[in-house]
């Protein structure tokens, strides 16, 4: 009774919270979870991780790595002996997945700032080659466009706090008129808060910011972070349910389970 999890770096808060949830719910069903962590989401590292799990007789695997649809499809084709459930692909792709609606939370965060009167937006997206980063960025841009607005600047971080810190310093230098900053995850928002404190900017009076993920820690940032919640515990629960059920009902094998994303209002936007 063993399942596998191929995951991006567990040094990132979101993947580690997802792994914790997967382990918890699999454990409740009497399954253990073997984890294979990858450093990059290239086809070859993912295939190597799947092979490592196969060699331990694992036949069902959660894949939490950002994958373009064709890459996920070819992994499915090339591994007929394992059933892969994808946790970080485009929800509307044709592979078996449990994912989050990338639009509703991101749209709500733009609307929240707009309704507060903000018009000067900067965007801090994730890595340029990351699928979820691109989906969030597209929604921010489309929602701004629906208000006849363009962002003053778009920056890209690497999901970690340091990249958020550096991008925010650059933003303050290049577009000091910005009053609103949308950030693609909470860890980069933590770095942004640090940069803003260092530069003596008041939050939210001088600048408002909204994160993404609602990781456990974000309620304890200073000020408490307004952010888009995606429920990692629920994702883990649904993923375990889907992967275990799939044996009985082969029609689930292409099923998409899309979980909600929603804005959680705290104190960092005003």
Instruction: Please give the residues from 75 up to 104 whose contact with ligand IPT meets the rule CB under 6 A.
Output: 87-88
Among 159, 203, 221, 227, binds ligand IPT (CB under 6 A): 159
CB of 100 to ligand IPT, least distance (A): 6
**Is residue 12 a contact residue for ligand IPT (CB under 6 A)?**
yes
Smallest gap from Cβ 204 to ligand IPT, in A, equals 22
Residue (of 69, 43, 73, 18) closest to 35 by Cα position: 18
185 binds ligand IPT (CB under 6 A): yes
Please give the Cα distance from 42 to 63 (Å, whole number).
13
Q: Which residue is nearest to ligand IPT (CB)?
A: 185
188 membership: H or E segment, kind and range: helix 186-198
The window from 11-19, 20-28, 72-80, 200-208 that contacts ligand IPT (CB under 6 A) reads: 11-19
Residues with Cβ < 8 Å from 24, sequence gap 6 or more?
A: 233, 236
Rank residues 152 and 193 by Cβ distance to ligand IPT and give the closer one. Answer: 193
Phi-psi region of 18 (alpha: psi -120 to 50; beta: other; left: phi over 0): alpha
Which residues are within 8 A (CB) of 126 and not within 5 positions of it... i.e. 6 or more apart?
Answer: 132, 133, 136, 156, 157, 158, 159, 184, 185, 188
Long-range CB pairs of 17-20 (<8 Å, 24+ gap) are 17/215, 17/216, 17/232, 17/233, 18/64, 18/87, 18/232, 18/235, 18/236, 19/64, 20/232, 20/236
Residue 14 or 152 having the CB closest to ligand IPT: 14
Q: Which of 6-14, 50-58, 72-80, 198-206 is the region at the interface with ligand IPT (rule: CB under 6 A)? A: 6-14
Binding residue for ligand IPT, selected from 6, 8, 63, 98, defined by CB under 6 A: 8
- The minimum distance between CB 202 and ligand IPT, in angstroms, equals 26
Count of other CB atoms within 10 angstroms of residue 259: 17
| Near ligand IPT by CB under 6 A: residue from 105, 132, 157, 236 | 132
Interaction of residue 66 with ligand IPT, rule CB under 6 A: yes
Residues making contact with ligand IPT (CB under 6 A) = 8, 12, 14-15, 66, 87-88, 132, 159, 185, 213
């Amino acid at each position: 009774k063993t399942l596998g999890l191929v995951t991006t770096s567990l040094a990132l808060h979101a993947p580690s919270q997802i792994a914790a949830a997967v382990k918890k719910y699999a454990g409740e069903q009497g399954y253990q979870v073997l984890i294979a962590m990858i450093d990059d989401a290239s086809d070859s590292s993912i295939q190597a991780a799947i092979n490592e799990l196969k060699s331990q007789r694992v036949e069902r695997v959660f894949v939490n790595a950002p994958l373009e649809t064709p890459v996920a499809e070819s992994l499915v084709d090339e591994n007929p002996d394992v059933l892969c459930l994808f946790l970080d692909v485009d929800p509307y792709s044709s592979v078996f997945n449990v994912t989050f609606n990338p639009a509703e939370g991101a749209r709500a965060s733009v609307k929240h700032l707009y309704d507060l009167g903000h018009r000067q937006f900067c965007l801090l997206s994730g890595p340029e080659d990351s699928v979820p980063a691109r989906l969030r960025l597209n929604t921010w841009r489309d929602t701004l466009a629906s208000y006849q607005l363009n962002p003053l600047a778009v920056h890209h971080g690497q999901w970690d706090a340091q990249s958020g810190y550096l991008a925010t310093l650059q933003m303050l230098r290049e577009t000091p008129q910005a009053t609103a900053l949308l950030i693609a995850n909470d860890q980069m928002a933590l770095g942004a808060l640090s940069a803003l404190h260092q530069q003596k900017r008041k939050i939210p009076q001088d600048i408002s910011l909204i994160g993404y993920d609602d990781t456990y820690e974000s309620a304890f940032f200073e000020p408490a972070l307004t952010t888009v919640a995606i429920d990692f515990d629920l994702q883990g629960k649904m993923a375990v349910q889907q992967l275990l059920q799939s044996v009985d009902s082969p029609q689930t094998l292409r099923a998409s389970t899309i979980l909600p994303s929603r804005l959680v209002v705290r104190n960092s936007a005003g």
